[in-house]
């Protein structure tokens, strides 16, 4: 069994300040973890993924996430927010090496203010 908890449903930051979106996971198996982003009226876009290689994962648009097994966390960060980062972000878990079913968190809405 696996599950994901996104700790904040809404996050608001000022442009140019750091972004932190928090995600905790639970998995009976060795997990692979992803962050997806959805901009309004767009599909879900893959930001980054962890698949049991390096624990610090770099993604597109300056985002990165760190897999911490001891804390069962996979928080998403970005040093400096841009207006175009405003979107909904999803933390996702699946089983490494087998099975293709993704388990999504409930999403975090990121608002970026001037």
Partner 1 sequence: EAGVTQFPSHSVIEKGQTVTLRCDPISGHDNLYWYRRVMGKEIKFLLHFVKESKQDESGMPNNRFLAERTGGTYSTLKVQPAELEDSGVYFCASSQGLTVYYGYTFGSGTRLTVV
Regarding 26 and contact with partner 1 (CB under 8 A), the answer is no
Cα angle for residues 49, 101, 70 (degrees, 5° grid): 50
Minimum Å gap between C-beta 109 and partner 1 is: 12
Give dist(CA 50, CA 57) in Å, integer: 6
Give dist(CA 22, CA 106) in Å, integer: 12
Regarding 107 and contact with partner 1 (CB under 8 A), the answer is yes
Residue of 41, 56, 83, 114 interacting with partner 1 (CB under 8 A): 41
Regarding 86 and contact with partner 1 (CB under 8 A), the answer is no
Interaction site with partner 1 (CB under 8 A): 32, 34, 36, 41-46, 49, 51, 90, 94, 96-97, 100-107
């Amino acid at each position: 069994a696996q599950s994901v908890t996104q700790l904040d449903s809404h996050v608001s930051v000022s442009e140019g300040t750091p972004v932190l979106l928090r995600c905790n996971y639970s998995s009976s198996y060795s997990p692979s973890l992803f962050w997806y982003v959805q901009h309004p009226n767009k599909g879900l876009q893959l930001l980054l993924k962890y698949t049991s290689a390096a624990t610090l994962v770099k993604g597109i648009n300056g985002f990165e996430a760190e897999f911490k097994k001891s804390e069962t966390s996979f928080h998403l960060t970005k040093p400096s927010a841009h207006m175009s980062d405003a979107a909904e972000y999803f933390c996702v878990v699946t089983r490494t090496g087998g099975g293709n079913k993704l388990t999504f968190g409930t999403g975090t809405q990121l608002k970026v203010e001037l």
